[in-house]
Amino acid sequence: MIKIMGAALIIAASTWMGIEASRHFSERPKQLRLLKSALQSLEAEIMYGHTPLHEASRRLSAQLPKPLSVLFADFSARLTNSETTVSAAWRESLEEVWKETALRQGEFEIMKQFGETLGRHDKMSQQKQIQLAISHLQREEGDAFEKQTKYEKMVKSLGFLSGLLLIILLM
């Protein structure tokens, strides 16, 4: 009886691990898409609304869902409350929030480089920088989507099967 219960626990744990790992793969393209649309609305705020940066990012944080909204909320709070430069505040809030997201090192570099240019130029070159960051993110999104279709199912069934194998070996 105890043996069966242990076996069920092992299966449940390993399947859960597999599902958790596959969720990581499916979250990444979703969050990249959100990040892209966030940059697009930032562009709109800057180009057509002439909104100041902290105000614009506060509005963005209200629009976006959870992990990305924290990034913009944190950024806006840093800009209003402390005496830092825009790029330093952007980098700090990126590092703060990055562990919460499913995003990878490549996107982190893109966003960091984007932050270096933020608030440095006039409107037109700012728009160009945003477009550049968006097109980089587009590339990463294609890569993420490819990885998702390739690995998502594999990780799920790998978790379940390795649990099964463990049970048979321990039986």
Partner 1 sequence: MGMDVDIIFKIAGVGIVVAFLHTILDQVGKKEYAQWVTLFGFIYILFMVASIIDDLFEKIKSVFLFQG
Interface positions with partner 1 (CB under 8 A): 150-151, 154, 157-158, 161-162, 164-165, 168-169, 171
Burial of 112 (0-12, 13-18, 19+ CB in 10 A): middle
Minimum CB separation of residue 169 from partner 1 in Å reads 7
Given the complex with partner 1, which of 62 and 165 has the nearer CB atom? 165
Minimum CB separation of residue 140 from partner 1 in Å reads 20
Minimum CB separation of residue 29 from partner 1 in Å reads 17
The answer to whether residues 25 and 155 touch, using CB atoms and an 8 Å cutoff, is: yes
Q: In whole angstroms, what is the distance from residue 138 CA to residue 122 CA?
A: 24
Picking from 96, 90, 102, the residue whose alpha carbon sits closest to that of residue 31 is 102
Minimum CB separation of residue 8 from partner 1 in Å reads 16
Given the complex with partner 1, which of 44 and 155 has the nearer CB atom? 155
Given the complex with partner 1, which of 51 and 162 has the nearer CB atom? 162
Given the complex with partner 1, which of 124 and 171 has the nearer CB atom? 171
The answer to whether residues 32 and 137 touch, using CB atoms and an 8 Å cutoff, is: yes
Dihedral (Cα; 47, 53, 114, 40), 10-degree rounding? -40
